[in-house]
Amino acid sequence: MQYEIKGTPLPVVICNLSDGEQMITERGSMSWMSPNMQMETTSNGGIGKALGRMFAGEALFQNRYTARGNGMIAFASSVPGEIRALEITPDRPVILQKRAFLACEPGVELSVHFQKKLGAGFFGGEGFIMQRLSGRGIAFAEIDGCAVEYELAPGQQMIVDTGYLAMMDATCSMTVATVPGAKNMLFGGEGLFNTVITGPGKIVLQTMPLSGIAGAFQTSAK
């Protein structure tokens, strides 16, 4: 599979497939394709895995596209931002925010990822459930706004405001911390909690979470 990511601020990834190669995606993610791409709707691993994907913010069923001869298929982003190509290997799974998954090769498995601590889920801004990509192959993920990367050393931390964590290596951990001081909580405008990411591993932050876009539209509409 060869691919090219084109366009801003609403990018698209165009995948060129050889005969028999496949791509897995969620319903509605395909933007355009050549006529020789064959689509099949599947639970992709049975009802248990399908329910897990649903809890992670994805659809119950997935679409598998197979090239019959050399084929082409494109997947466009749903919000202004970036599309990232991720090389998933058995020793380096990746944790994504909800709804970040766009498409992947068949060797990549999308599953649910539960935060180890309930507080990180309920107050960390990313929800108790996130997405986990494991296996081997190329996957594509959506970033809201621009992406900024940091490589955290063991024990090194980054404090992130709600919703700004796009993805992280599975070696990183996620907890929450209250904003210090009653005045800061009530009048600081930053909410009551921050997400704390601890290394080792790479984290990718996004500059405009979908929730921020919605809030900006609501403010401008008033």
- The percentage of the chain sitting over the pLDDT mark of 90, rounded to a whole number, equals 55
Residue 26 token pair: 């969620």
Under the banding of pLDDT at 50, 70 and 90, the label for residue 28 is confident
pTM of structure: 0.80
Identify how many contiguous H helices and E strands the chain contains and give both numbers: 4, 19
Q: How far apart, in whole angstroms, are the C-alpha atoms of residue 94 and residue 7? A: 25
Q: How far apart, in whole angstroms, are the C-alpha atoms of residue 81 and residue 206? A: 9
Under the banding of pLDDT at 50, 70 and 90, the label for residue 194 is confident
Q: Which domains does the chain have, with CATH numbers?
A: 2-216 (3.60.160.10)
AA identity, residue 46: G
Strand positions, DSSP E, the chain: 2-6, 12-17, 22-26, 30-33, 37-42, 62-67, 71-76, 81-88, 94-96, 101-104, 108-114, 129-135, 137-144, 147-152, 157-160, 165-169, 173-178, 193-198, 201-206
